[in-house]
Amino acid sequence: MADPTLFAAPSAAAHGAAGGGVEITMTLLVVVGFLAALAWFARKMRGGFTRNGGARIQVLGAQSLGPKERAVLVRIGETDILIGVGAGSVNALHVFPVGTNTEAPAAPAPASGLPNNPDFKSLLLKALGKKDSAS
């Protein structure tokens, strides 16, 4: 007959109860560190390597003109260029002179509170034939 201890499961004391948890924790930390390093490297690569003395392209704005067409305003160095982007082509539409202000205009002030512009609530109550209790 075979010895019964030959096929018995190893005891927890032989491996250490906390030994498995430490190994799992260390492995998890290595994987998380690797992912953090990969994310950092991808962020550095997104900026791109510049070849012409540090000139970078900045997208100042974009407006959809159709399902596959867009107008994009880009800044290269100090020059702003309006570019038309289509399904199969990219065309420079206008090159703005250096120093031209191509920033978006400030948003208009809200018209609420003026006597000539009633708010939505009063218009709705008037359309329903009811009186506004606040007026």
* Per-domain boundaries in the chain: 21-46, 57-96
Q: Is the pLDDT of residue 47 over 80?
A: no
Q: Which of 9-13, 35-39, 82-86 has the lowest mean pLDDT?
A: 9-13
| Rounded CA separation 104/95 (Å) | 17
pLDDT at 61: 86
Q: Which of 47, 44, 78 is nearest to 60 (CA)?
A: 78
Question: To which H or E segment does residue 46 belong?
Answer: helix 19-46
Distance separating alpha carbons of residues 7 and 129, to the nearest angstrom? 91
Query: pLDDT category, 2, cuts 50, 70, 90?
Result: low
Residue type, 53: G
pLDDT confidence band for 83 (50 / 70 / 90): very high
Instruction: Determine the Cα–Cα distance for residues 80 and 59; give it in Å rounded to an integer.
Output: 10
* Separation between Cα atoms, residue 71 and residue 62, nearest integer Å: 6
Q: Which residues lie across from 81 on neighbouring strands? A: 74, 95
Give the percent of the chain with pLDDT over 70: 67
